[in-house]
């Protein structure tokens, strides 16, 4: 039995992956921004999986302080985590900015998982052969300072692509810093049949299960236990070359310095 935390798991492939993992007898931690939705999801997964080892955390990932509070709660309440799946993400939203004035996609898709992971590393390091799976995307675009800091506004799709490349760049960096944790970035598949794809594009190319199956495998299969610092492209069904910025040390340093400034100021 593994102890597995999945962010953004009250909808879409996060929820379906949580159910699949619970059915296999794992202890699963759900996360969402609505307490009612988290509780409903926990009840539904417990019933469907016949597994009572399902708990939840509530935090709005567009609020970086809420992410920090959730990390503290995890450190106080969870003895160890074997797998962290950083799945929470947004694309189209009613508001483009957080209350701190950051781009909401950059906050939820990159800054929140960065804060959460860096703050619960001690809990992960107590896990058995710990793994982190970071949800990247086929859409990746070079990160611009003004988008990261919230000083410049661009389209939702472009901000999303930048946030996903930022996450992938950090994922590779994190893998080098923590050799005892297997850290993998993954594009779970383009235009899966999820709420996000429907709201953004009004269509889908592949069933949601395509993404669920790769997340399940990356989280649990021995085949991936040594695949740290890699990028899995599920459109190809294999590991692939990531965006060139993910290995550009100068760009990574700029990204991380800016990230730490933003987190310190918010």
pLDDT of 261 higher than 90 = yes
pLDDT of residue 211: 82
Between the alpha carbon of residue 175 and those of residues 55, 64, 141, 158, 246, the distances in Å are 28, 23, 21, 26, 12
Q: What is the pTM of this model?
A: 0.94
Report the C-alpha gap between 231 and 229 in whole angstroms: 7
Which H, E and C letters describe 238-265, residue by residue? EECCCCHHHHCHHHHHHHHHHHHHHHHH
Q: For 156-210, how does the pLDDT look when each residue is reduced to its tens digit (9 = 90+)?
A: 999 999 999 999 999 999 999 999 999 999 999 764 445 544 444 444 445 557 7
Nearest to 259 by CA among 19, 64, 32: 64
pLDDT of residue 198: 42
| pLDDT (average), residues 6-34 | 96
pLDDT of 251 higher than 70 = yes
Q: The CATH number of 3-265 is which of 3.30.1490.100, 3.60.15.10, 1.10.10.10, 3.40.50.720?
A: 3.40.50.720
Q: For 126-157, how does the pLDDT look when each residue is reduced to its tens digit (9 = 90+)?
A: 999 999 999 999 999 999 999 999 999 999 99
Q: Kindly report the number of other CB atoms within 10 A of residue 203's CB atom.
A: 9
DSSP-assigned states of every residue in 47-59 = HHHT---EEEEE-
| pLDDT (average), residues 224-245 | 95
Number of H helices, E strands in the chain: 11, 8
Report the C-alpha gap between 100 and 63 in whole angstroms: 8
Report the C-alpha gap between 115 and 176 in whole angstroms: 17
**What is the residue-averaged pLDDT of the chain?**
93
| pLDDT (average), residues 14-19 | 95
pLDDT of residue 208: 58
């Amino acid at each position: 039995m593994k102890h597995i935390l999945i962010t953004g798991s009250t909808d879409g492939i996060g929820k379906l992956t949580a159910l699949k993992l619970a059915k296999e007898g794992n202890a699963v931690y759900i996360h969402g921004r609505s307490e009612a939705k988290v509780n409903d999801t926990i009840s539904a997964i417990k019933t469907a999986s016949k597994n009572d080892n399902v708990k939840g955390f509530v935090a709005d990932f567009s609020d970086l302080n809420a992410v920090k509070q959730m990390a503290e709660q995890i450190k106080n309440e969870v003895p160890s985590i074997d797998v962290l799946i950083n799945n929470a993400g947004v694309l189209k939203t009613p508001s483009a900015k957080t209350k701190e004035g950051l781009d909401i996609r950059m906050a939820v898709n990159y800054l929140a998982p960065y804060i959460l992971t860096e703050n619960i590393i001690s809990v992960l390091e107590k896990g058995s052969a710990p793994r982190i799976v970071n949800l990247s995307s086929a859409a990746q675009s070079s990160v611009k300072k003004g988008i990261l800091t919230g000083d410049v506004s661009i389209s939702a799709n472009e901000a999303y692509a930048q946030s996903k490349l930022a996450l992938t760049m950090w994922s590779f960096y994190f893998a080098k810093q923590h050799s005892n944790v297997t850290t993998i970035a993954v594009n779970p598949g383009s235009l899966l049949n999820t709420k996000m794809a429907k709201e953004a594009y009004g269509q889908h190319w592949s069933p949601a299960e395509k993404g669920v199956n790769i997340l399940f495998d990356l989280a649990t299969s021995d085949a991936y236990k040594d695949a740290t610092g890699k990028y899995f492209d599920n459109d190809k069904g294999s590991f692939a070359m990531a965006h060139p910025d993910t290995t550009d040390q100068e760009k990574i340093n700029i990204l991380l310095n800016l990230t730490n400034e933003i987190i310190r100021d918010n």
